[in-house]
Amino acid sequence: MKRTIDITFTDSAEPKGGVAFVLVTGNGDAAAGAERVDPKGILAKARGIAGFSGKAKSTMDVIAPEGASVDRIVALGVGEGATMTSNDWLAAGGLACAQLKKAHAATVYLDVPGVEVGAGQVAAFASGMLLAAYDFDSYKTKKDKDEADKEPSKTKVAIVTSDPSAARKAFAEARGVVDGVLLARNLVNEPANILGPVEFAERASELKELGVEVEILAEKDMRKLGMGALLGVAQGSARPPRLVVMQWKGAKAKHQPVAFVGKGVVFDTGGISIKPAGGMEDMKGDMGGAAAVTGLMHALAARKAKVNVIGIIGLVENMPDGNAQRPSDIVTSMSGQTIEVINTDAEGRLVLADALWYCQDRFKPKFMVNLATLTGAIMVALGHHHAGLFSNDDELAAHLLQSGKTTDEKLWRMPLGPEYDKLIDSKFADVKNTGGRLAGSITAAQFLQRFVNDTPWAHLDVAGTAMGSPQSEINRSWASGFGVRLLNDLVKDHYEG
């Protein structure tokens, strides 16, 4: 069952039942105020018996003694504490959420002596709880096996902090980012029969409520623009394509916008170059890049980011219909470049080719970052722990790498170069859409680079991180929402204000 976490901030909580969380350092220091729920010092005694060292990301669950104001006390180990990063605070919140169990109420004591616990840290902890509580169960009709084992659908959480007003303000901004991540997860988790290109575009249009300007281009609009590459992918599906243009205008008009472009293949059979049946059900997530861009636009608008941002997503379905494009077909992109289609399963780069060209041609952005579940080759190289980063601009790449470290949405920079670019030269057209078996993720990036002109650009291949990535303290979902926090941090630290 999906659990709703209702968080409040206070400086004087008097718990009544439920569970109390107390941060404990490796030195044994406990958060101030813990004596309210532990007047007999049971935590200190239990630490010795259980061998609880307080190391980071460890927990100890203790039944509260008779007469206590709560039912359980959970110690959350934070290690040295003083070295905790924002991501560590997120993880601590996620661990707390996992320990809620049947509790209808929880009280959290965070202020540990010697540890910086400002509004930002409190907001990060609260955000971690919300991210960890996410569960996509919309289509389950039998959600509870046994009434006795049922967890509550809602838990009220009071976080005790010395400055609740500052915490509320910080959390209001952080909440917008959390909601952006959860939106991206929802979009990726949705089955393809529910979320087609038209339905995805409608979901994106809901961002108007936050002040985002949303424009939806239909097939006839794209045909007028000459988007033959994107339309070639879509022609095998009964479901019409869409190109969604989102604009957040948080700065003065004179400020050059930054731009994010997402691949949105709502389902990818591979087309005529059809994929093997095993695992094809995961291809409902081949729109993870578009989901991240949509979630990012939500995050930036919700926190009223002082920056002008363009978000563009190309939405298609790749199907093996009698009208589908064939290997050897030659299509003409919006840029005028002709593309020989060697493999119809290398379709995401065709969608992005037109979306990227349209973006740089119409908006003249300061930079473009595209996200795409583009190649299996990137998973061979990096597995599920890093997304691949390709860029024509060292400064942009450095900023992205730093944001990856800050948010723990890690990136690894991969090479680009003329030797790889030659591999996608075509005998019959200006370029072909695959370069063969070797260096597959690199040649895919080289293909995209041919459609960005001189615009500073980065390509994030998130095939291994947007879905099916290892679960963590803040995510137990198949869809991770990867990229939303990363790119929000990029904008906030380097391009805002």
Nearest-angstrom CA–CA distance, 167 and 190: 33
CA angle 360-365-367, nearest 5°?
Answer: 95
Instruction: Return the percent helix, strand and coil in the chain, to nearest 5.
Output: 35, 20, 45
Report phi then psi at 230, rounded to 5. -65, -45
List 248's β-bridge partners, or say none: 309
Has 249 been annotated as catalytic?
Answer: no
CB proximity list for 5: less than 8 A, separation 6 or greater: 97, 129, 130, 133, 154, 155, 157
Active-site residue (options: 349, 450, 485, 492):
349
The rounded distance, in Å, linking the Cα atoms of 167 and 176 is 14
What type of residue is 39? P
Answer whether 144's CB lies under 8 Å from 448's CB: no
Is 275 noted as a catalytic residue in this protein? yes
The residue annotated as part of the active site, out of 3, 156, 239, 275, is 275
CB contact at 8 A, 191 and 143: no
CA distance 267 to 317: 5
CB 235 within 8 A of CB 344: no
Complete edge-to-edge strand list for the sheet that includes strand 338-340: 330-332, 338-340, 431-432
Active-site annotation, residues: 275, 349
